[in-house]
Amino acid sequence: MTGETNPFKNALKQLRIACDAMGINEDIYNYLSHPQRIVQVSIPVKMDDGHLEIFEGFRVLHNSARGPGKGGIRYAAEVNMDEVKALATWMTWKCACVGIPYGGAKGGVTVDPRKLSVGELERLTRRFTANIINVIGPETDIPAPDMNTGGREMGWMMDTYSMQKGHVVHGVCTGKPVEIGGSLGRTQATGHGVAFCMHEYAKRHNMKPEECTVVVQGFGNVGQYTCLTAKDFGYKIIATSDISGAYYNPEGLDIDEMFAYISDPAHRTLEGYTKAQKISNSELLELECTFMNPCALENQVTEENAPRIKAKCLVEGANGPVTPKADEILESRGIDVVPDILANAGGVTCSYFEWVQDRMALFWDLDQVNKELDKIMLRAFDGVHELAQEKKCSYRLAAYFIAVQRVAKAIEMRGIYP
Ligand code: GLU
């Protein structure tokens, strides 16, 4: 990782920029630049062929001034401590930005899940849960899905925790299947929120959906539902991508067909999809379009390619896809960025609803979930948009102003223990 692509360094840089602009007290900066708790575990897993493999697992609680830690668990070969620290830090700002009563946390395991059988993945998830059992819980730190994890993993996690406690604890994690305490709408929520923010941005800048072209980098959970919701709002999606490459059609992609294609267990990726031109990931990022929504990984838009980005606005479906240096370049070129801590907050907001429903043991219908989700997203978008206008600053800086201010206020009101 170079200086520019170390996510934790980038997270600290963003905090530094926000604290300087706000004139925030140095003690608060210091407090917030140190994660509250860092746990690293070794996870022994008996593989199908009988040999033992050890995986590294992480859980970081960045801050709990506003409530218990909240944030996903990712499985990827590149997962490392600095990445998890950054992602936990961003969760603190995300929950504060949309005003839900959580602090920030994140977890991960360094593993390429495609190389494991379902049985191996289950044993890995259960042993990881057991190894972090003393730091997670509905009142302390609540995991959820992130990259390469989903309802299945959350089901195993909830079951392992419940077995250890001796009773069912639905609220220990979110993103569970609806049959075991999950919420309707959670699977779609992150992508729905990304498309919602893009649409709100368009409305405020007098842009009409039918006149906009949209590129969505990444056709995983977030990208898929960003595309599907954007299509329902009337936008034309001209390109998307996954690990097999990028797919471009200037006339507009058939999103329903691509969704069906990737959902087919015989495919699982877009490899072999022929109704689009195959291009590279870097070509996709540099396409001429109205909106470019990076919904894949960190560090996709850097100092190197930011000068060649042609979109009018970026909406960050992923966490940390634009580096601070790229941010400066985009801003100087008049390209707006709707930041991750606002744009992809739909997922954690719906997780909040799931946790509330689990604790009440009273479940909402989809209409109620979506209505509440749009209410929170609209309130957050409005707040950030208005502050950005008032201060004549970027959306990211405005979102950080709101988020950091809320966390700083909570620390100040609670005081430092003892
Ligand atoms: N992993 C998601 C995120 O980055 C969701 C977290 C959650 O639902 O707690 O926002």
Q: What is the pLDDT of residues 8-27, one digit of tens each?
A: 999 999 999 999 999 999 99
Using the structure block, give the residue that is written with the tokens 């990444």: 218
Q: What is the mean pLDDT of residues 281-310?
A: 98
DSSP 104-124: EEEEEEE--GGGS-HHHHHHH
Q: How far is the CA of 108 from the centre of ligand 1 (A)?
A: 12
Q: How far is the CA of 139 from the centre of ligand 1 (A)?
A: 17
Q: Choose the residue to mutate in 59, 91, 176 for probing ligand 1, maximizing ligand atoms within 8 Å of C-beta.
A: 91
DSSP 152-171: HHHHHHHHHHHHHHTS--GG
For 317-341, b/e burial (b = at least 16 CB within 10 A) is bbbbbbbbbbbebbbeeebbbbbbb
pLDDT of residue 174: 98
* 106 is an active site residue: yes
Say yes or no: CB of residue 347 within 6 Å of ligand 1.
yes
Say yes or no: CB of residue 146 within 6 Å of ligand 1.
yes
Measured CA to CA, the distance from residue 312 to residue 333 in angstroms comes to 10
Token reading at 141 = 């730190």
pLDDT of residue 330: 98
In this structure, which amino acid lies at residue 94?
A: K
Q: Choose the residue to mutate in 79, 87, 146 for probing ligand 1, maximizing ligand atoms within 8 Å of C-beta.
A: 146
User: What is the percent of the chain with per-residue pLDDT over 90, rounded to a whole number?
Assistant: 99
Could you report the per-residue pLDDT of 323-341, keeping only the tens digit for each?
Answer: 999 999 999 999 999 999 9
Say yes or no: CB of residue 221 within 6 Å of ligand 1.
no
> CA-based angle 402:407:412, to the nearest 5?
125
Token reading at 286 = 């540099």
In this structure, which amino acid lies at residue 227?
A: C
Q: What is the mean pLDDT of residues 140-167?
A: 98
Residue 415's SS3 state is: coil
Could you report the per-residue pLDDT of 117-141, keeping only the tens digit for each?
Answer: 999 999 999 999 999 999 999 999 9
Count of residues making up the chain: 418
Measured CA to CA, the distance from residue 242 to residue 281 in angstroms comes to 9
Q: Are strands 245-248 and 236-242 parallel, antiparallel or unpaired?
A: antiparallel
CATH-assigned architecture of domain 35-170: 3-Layer(aba) Sandwich (3.40)
- Residue 4 — very low, low, confident or very high, per pLDDT cuts 50/70/90? confident
Q: How far is the CA of 147 from the centre of ligand 1 (A)?
A: 10
pTM attached to this predicted model: 0.97
CB 52 within 8 A of CB 46: yes
Q: How far is the CA of 144 from the centre of ligand 1 (A)?
A: 6
Q: Where are the domains of the chain?
A: 35-170, 187-343
- Residue 1 — very low, low, confident or very high, per pLDDT cuts 50/70/90? low
**Same topology between domain 35-170 and domain 187-343:** yes
Q: Are strands 291-294 and 277-279 parallel, antiparallel or unpaired?
A: unpaired
Say yes or no: CB of residue 172 within 6 Å of ligand 1.
no
User: What is the percent of the chain with per-residue pLDDT over 70, rounded to a whole number?
Assistant: 99
187-343 placed in CATH 3.40.50.300: no
Question: Given 70, 85, 94, 106, which residue is catalytic?
Answer: 106
Mean pLDDT of the chain: 97
Q: How far is the CA of 88 from the centre of ligand 1 (A)?
A: 10
Say yes or no: CB of residue 319 within 6 Å of ligand 1.
yes
Say yes or no: CB of residue 70 within 6 Å of ligand 1.
yes
Q: How far is the CA of 347 from the centre of ligand 1 (A)?
A: 6
Residue nearest to atom 9 of ligand 1 (CA): 71
Look at residue 3 and tell me whether its pLDDT is greater than 70. Answer: no
